Amino acid sequence: MILKKLKRATALVGVLVLTTGIFAGCSGGTTNKPSDANKGGKDDEIVIGFSMDTLKEERWQKDRDTLMARAKELGVKILIQAANGDDNKQIAQAENLISQGVDVLMVAPHNAEVAATIVEAAHEEGIPVLSYDRLIKNSDVDVYVSFDNEKVGELQAEYVTKLVPKGNYVYIGGAPTDNNAHLFRKGAMNVLKPLIEKGDIKLVYDQMSKDWQPSEAQKHMENALTANKNKIDAVICANDGTAGGAISALSEQQLAGKVPVTGQDAELAACQRIVEGMQTMTVYKPIPKLAETALDVAIKLAKKEKVETNGTVNNGKIDVPSVLLEPIVVDKNNMMDTIIKDGYHPYEEVYKNIPEDQRPKQK
C-alpha cells in the first residue's frame, strides 16, 4: 500500500486508540488535526504518536503501560494505536497519527520493510521517526532505540552450549518480517557456527515462525522430533512465546524439562516454567528501561535537541543512530535477583506452582 499525502484525517474502523490515561474505541468519523498555531497540543504540549504492531503479547502490553505512565509523569501526551499484526491497519493508523500533527512518531513495525513507507510519510510532514525496539528497514529513520538484539541470540546460544556442548540442535526463530528475529538468529549462529563446523553440534532443524505464533513453533518442534526420532538435545527458541510452543510439543513426548529450551522476553509464563524446570532460561530485556529511554529520546527529538547514542545499526539504507541497551540472562538461579528484585513480576505469581517450603526466601 502506497501512502498518499497526509493532509486529510483517516477514518478508522474498530481501532483501539490509547492515550495517556484514556482508552477510547473509535468507529469511523474524522479526527481533528491541531492547527499549525497549536500543533503540539494545549499550551504547546508535546504530542508523541506510537504505532505498535501488536498488543496481543504480554510484553507489548508492558511497553504500552510503561509509556503511558512515563508520559503522564513528564507532562507529555502520547497517542498509542496497535495494528495487531495487520500491515495495512498499521499504515492507516500511522496516517491517522501523522494527520493529528504529532511532534514525533514512534513505530514498532509489524513488517520491517513495509514500515519504510511510514517513515517517508512522516518526513513529508516534517515529523521525525523513532524506530522502537524493532528496526525499520531501508528507510531514513531518525533514531533506533532497542536492546543489542544480536547479543540476545549470542546469550541464548552461549548458555545452552555450556549445558549441551555436543548433540542435535533445533533452532526455532521468530517472524520473518521482524528484523529482530533475524538479529537473534545471527547472534545465535555466531556461537553455533564454529561448533557446527567442528562437528560437535548438528543443526537438524532451523525454521522461523510466522508472526511469532506459539502454534507455529509447536508445529516446528513436532516436525523436528518426528524427523529425528525424538533425538533432540537442545532447542534455541527466539522468544518465550515460541519456547512455550516448543515445550508443548516436547511435553507430548515426555521430554519437557529433559531437553534445554531457551527463550526471551521474561514473560510471566516463561518465568513460571523456568522455576518449575520446564524452560531453561530467558533473556530479560527490562521493558521499563526501554520505554523510558525511548520516550526521553522522543522528547529530545520533539524539542530538536541532540540525542546521545551509543552505536549505529545498518538498516539496508543508512547507518541508523542507535541507543542500545544491555539484555540480561535469567535462569532459575538468578530469578530472585533480577525479575523479582526489579518488580517485573510478583514473587507470588512466579512461584505460585512451587510449594511454599521449596520457594527461595524473599530478601
Residues 130 and 177 both lie in one domain:
no
Question: In this structure, what C-alpha cell is assigned to residue 69?
Answer: 505512565
163 and 98 belong to one structural domain: no
d(CA 92, CA 318): 25
Strand partners, 167: 201
Distance between CA atoms of 245 and 173, rounded to whole angstroms? Answer: 12
Using CA of residue 15, residue 53, residue 33, residue 78, what is the dihedral sign?
A: positive
Question: What pLDDT is stored for residue 22 in this prediction?
Answer: 30
What's the pLDDT at 42?
Answer: 54
Domain check: are 293 and 350 in the same one? no
* CA neighbor of 344 nearest in space, from 280, 273, 289: 289
The reply to whether 239 and 104 lie within a common domain is no
Residue 116 belongs to a domain: yes
Rounded to whole angstroms, how far apart are CA atoms 178 and 268?
23
Helix 116-124 crosses helix 87-99 at what angle (to 10 degrees)? Answer: 10
Residue 226 near residue 232 (C-beta atoms within 8 A): no
Q: Are residues 194 and 80 in the same domain?
A: no
CA pair distance 269, 305, nearest whole angstrom: 40
216 and 291 housed in the same domain: no
In a domain, 25, yes or no: yes
How far apart (Å, rounded) are the C-alpha atoms in residues 89 and 87? 5
**Residue 169 within any structural domain of the chain:** yes
Domain count, the chain: 2
Q: Which of 227, 226, 264, 259 is nearest to 243 (CA)?
A: 264
User: Does 259 lie in the same domain as 185?
Assistant: yes
With beta carbons less than 8 A apart as the criterion, state whether 131 and 109 touch: yes
Same domain, 188 and 218: yes
Contact 111, 177 (CB under 8 A): yes
Please state, in angstroms and rounded to a whole number, the distance separating the CA atoms of residues 69 and 218: 36
Q: Are residues 194 and 341 in the same domain?
A: yes
Euclidean distance between CA atoms 32 and 143, whole angstroms: 28
Distance CA 300, CA 115 (A): 23
Q: What is the CATH number of the domain that holds 77?
A: 3.40.50.2300
Compute CA distances 282 → 48, 87, 89, 157, 276, whole Å.
Answer: 31, 29, 31, 11, 13
Do both 212 and 354 map to the same domain?
A: yes
Give residue 71's domain range: 13-141+287-325
Answer yes or no: is 71 within a domain: yes
Q: What pLDDT was estimated at residue 58?
A: 85
Distances (CA, A) of 263 to 146, 154, 204, 323, 337: 18, 12, 19, 23, 18
Q: What is the pTM of this model?
A: 0.80
Q: Can you give the pLDDT of all 363 residues of the chain as single tens digits?
A: 334 433 333 333 333 333 333 333 332 333 333 434 344 445 589 999 999 999 988 889 999 999 999 999 999 999 999 999 999 999 999 999 999 999 999 999 999 999 999 999 999 999 999 999 999 999 999 999 999 999 999 999 999 999 999 999 999 999 999 999 999 999 999 999 999 999 999 999 999 999 999 999 999 999 999 999 999 999 999 999 999 999 999 999 999 999 999 999 999 999 999 999 999 999 999 999 999 999 999 999 999 999 999 999 999 999 999 999 999 999 999 999 999 999 999 999 999 999 999 999 987
Find residue 27's DSSP bridge partners: 13
